[in-house]
Structure 1
Amino acid sequence: MRPRFSIALLSEDSSEPTWRGLRAIVQKLLNRFEENGYTPRVELVPVDDDIRPVLIANQWRSTKAKDERKKRDLWHYIARKIAEPGGFVVFHYDGDTDTTWSRRAEAKTPAQFDREVRTRVAQVLAGKHSPDEIAQKLERIIECVPFYSTEAWTYQATERAIALCREKHRCADATTFEAWGADRTKLDDVPKPKEKTCLGGEHNEVLGKSVAVWDVVQTGGSMMWFVWNLHACRALEDALALPSSGP
């Protein structure tokens, strides 16, 4: 049986393992709403290959004329996806460009996202849908913003990270992960966490699969904010509330 709803997971990260690690975390958060582990209602899919380049390193914010066509392709892709009856977009960009979590009020990226993505997608939809329909469809674009970066979430799998430190790197940063495990609020305020440990981004896929997401959510921070964004999408909440169909 195929899931009845599809979420395109767009990411600024160029690393395929990091995308898979992020997908694992998002899937765990969505699984809370599933009836059981055998009837998934939502599938997470990668963006089309021809759209991928404009996402890398947030090129969607570029003001260069040479990038305008790629940006336009992105707007049309998102507009098509959210216009599908069961289509949603989770759009990941890191908080690193602006600041850490405790200084998020200073961040400029959310306003840039509204201007360069939401407003542009609304313009693509204009003329085909009423203003109310456009507003409803724009809710299907869900921002996913780890602070400072994706590692603020994948590194929350501290026990697995400690094991990897011991197995791969002679315990180089086991004590660092022990400290982060003792206080899960710290990672959101670590600038460039990938550069702070021996693991880098190499193990993000296996770490993402090991994160106890609801323990992290309960501490607040950027993952809690993402959960709020999921709940703010009324169409997604409605989708997840529907009973599963038979095989």
Structure 2
Amino acid sequence: MADSSIRVLLVDDQEMVRDGLGALLSSAPDIELVGEAGDGLLAVRLAAELRPDVVVMDIRMPGMDGLAATGRIVGRTDPADPSAVAPRVLILTTFDLDEYVYEALARGASGFLLKDAPARDLINAVRVVAAGEALLAPSVTRRLIDDVARRRRAGNLRPEAVSALTVRELDVLRQVARGLSNAEIAEELFLSEQTIKTHVGRILAKLEIRDRTQAVVFAYENGLAGVVGEEG
């Protein structure tokens, strides 16, 4: 396995599901399946021991569920190596778990994928999340975040963080919230892709968040993204 392989921990309480998803992930030349867990508690322990790059996480499991496990995994620091980056968590969900998905994002998950998506989408999802990009299923993302964030927004406002962003950074953040890539934002704002990448990095640093998915949640919570259906 190449040194650049993406190390993945697979978490699902159904053995047949783990077998199928594990075989699929292992078929990708750039992905290494380093471990499996059937519940959240074991997932937390294995994440600390194995240090995967990405944890593919189910939500509904016995004992500790995927929500609690996500918060523990993302929030954990290694006393021996404080600079170590916590794994990114990719949530697997179904349409009827919208609010659970939002909770997972709020606890630090880097994205989610619907369980009824084409199987090969999982490989792409792992790659996207490992690269620090947002991975939010487009068929439900805007409805999900806009609806739930609107109801929760009052308790999550961070005006001091918003005021720390420059006008250009706010422009870029609004485009990130639309789900646009760096290349698409560059075209939209008539800037170079490298310039957009720099702005995104500064936004994440100022907001003290780890990836674009959390930036999307922040934007919706703080009224920086349009309602569903708006293009501006």
TM-score interval (norm. to shorter): 0.3 to 0.5
> Could you tell me the TM-score, scaled by structure 1's length?
0.33
Q: Which has the larger radius of gyration?
A: 1
The structure showing larger relative contact order (alpha-carbon pairs under 8 Å, at least 6 residues apart) is: 1
